[in-house]
Amino acid sequence: MFIIVLPLLVVATFGCRPSGSNDAFPGLIKTEVPLRAEGQEHMVGFFVPALDTVRIGVIGLGMRGPDAVDRFCYIPGAKVVALCDLHQERVEKANEILTRHELPKAAEYYGSDDAWRELVERDDLDLIYIATNWQTHVPMALYAMEQGKHVAVEVPAAHSLEDIWALIDTSERTRKHCMMLENCVYDFFELTVLNMAQKGLLGDIVYAEGGYIHQLEDFWNAYEGDWRMAFNKTHRGDIYPTHGMGPACQILNIHRGDKMNYLVSMDATPKSIPEWLKANRGEEVSDFQNGQHTVTLIRTELGRTIEMHHDVATPRPYSRQYNIAGTKGYASKYPMPLLALKGESLSSNPIPDQNLVAHSWLPKVVQEAMMQEYKHPIHQELEEVAKEIGGHGGMDFIMDYRLIYCLRHGLPLDMDVYDMAEWSAISPLSAISLEHNSAPVEVPDFTRGYWNIKEGYRHAFAE
């Protein structure tokens, strides 16, 4: 679904240069935006009538599903009605979680590749929660929406533009939510920095960085059927972009006043994983596709930049590379959370006797005070219980809580179908760039013209 714009053939593009607009310029690879079907409407700001109880069916009870079942037991108005996995013992163990919480057992589905379809077809479910391998996300999500269910699907939701558009079109046509389960947008530092930015403390945000730096040698053998290694063997690009993209896009108000126009990707020759395969499995892999380290640069309509990294091979500490630069301040999470401020932002320092300068990190005591002062309302309510219940330090609990909260109060979800599309699309778009010697690739407007009808990203709260 892409067309190469050749400057010698498309005369109108000669001499053009990027200036914050995605008008064609020499070398830009254009992407197709399918027409919205007649009668189909956009989902920006979409909400449904409040559900007193959200009845949930969970598909996938391997690495992440059981913890989700446990978290739902703590969330008011959430009810796990049905469970599904290929393996009977996993379903039974998940039901034991409900029993420990003194809750009714859920209906059980297992034993075949299509057992999940029976779960989805039940008439007593509102939400299908998909925690399976990447390759099954799209067919499950599509079928669930067609069966009248809202969908929450693990990351990334899709890896091809065709699949992404299918999810968008189905969500728009059925008027069902399709939310991606991106937990990192609820991280305590990242959500506090978002609040700082929304209150103007950091000035105009001009740059956002993120990524997924996580050597997976300790995990490769844990993925059933070796699905994750198989995908890395055959796919170039940033194939796991959403942990970095989510916080970056929210703070830049993507499709809430700004949009991504085009990207460029580069990758390093893969070395570590082929060596690991040879040493640990005796496999000689000469055509391993996923790069040792992949970097993607993105430019937006308003002239801001995003930088994304993907590296699951190099022996280095875990990082999501979270860095935010504004005209009045800078925030960085790794290897430790740090803030720097300048100008009038320093006057808001809650400890006024500190001698602060813009080119130095804030002293620890000042930073801690400011983190408390700008703590996001979501964390003011949920931080303590989230850390107690857990799930990646509490992020997972907040993610699930907010999903149920918004459905129960008839509010727009924190992440909509276009967030799913924009964050997931970095995978296929970066691959296209790499396949064409790091050529710039247009990022489609997945809203099809509605990217600026909302002014700024905001979480919704009941009055």
pLDDT value, residue 349: 60
Answer yes or no: is pLDDT of 21 > 60.
no
The pLDDT-based confidence of 345 (bands split at 50, 70, 90) is low
- pTM for the complete prediction? 0.94
pLDDT value, residue 2: 44
Instruction: Read off the DSSP letter of residue 185.
Output: G
Q: Using alpha carbons, select from 368, 366, 401 the residue that is nearest to residue 382.
A: 401
Whole-angstrom distance, CA of residue 13 vs CA of residue 24: 6
3.90.600.10, 3.30.365.10, 3.40.50.720, 3.40.50.300: CATH of 54-181: 3.40.50.720
- List, by residue range, all CATH 3.40.50.720 domains of the chain: 54-181
pLDDT value, residue 391: 82
Answer yes or no: is pLDDT of 422 > 80.
yes
Least confident among 77-91, 323-337, 381-395:
381-395
pLDDT value, residue 26: 85
Whole-angstrom distance, CA of residue 262 vs CA of residue 23: 10
Answer yes or no: is pLDDT of 133 > 90.
yes
Strands 29-31 and 2-4: antiparallel
CB 335 within 8 A of CB 317: yes
Beta bridge partners of 59: 84, 130
CA-based Rg of the chain, rounded to a whole angstrom? 22
Answer yes or no: is pLDDT of 6 > 80.
no
Strands 294-300 and 260-267: antiparallel
pLDDT value, residue 23: 60
CB 18 within 8 A of CB 372: no
1.20.1260.10, 3.40.605.10, 3.30.360.10, 3.90.1640.10: CATH of 185-378+428-442: 3.30.360.10
The pLDDT-based confidence of 348 (bands split at 50, 70, 90) is low
The pLDDT-based confidence of 236 (bands split at 50, 70, 90) is very high
Strands 127-130 and 2-4: unpaired
Alpha-carbon distances of 184 from 135, 243, 244, 245, rounded to whole Å: 22, 6, 8, 9
- List, by residue range, all CATH 3.30.360.10 domains of the chain: 185-378+428-442
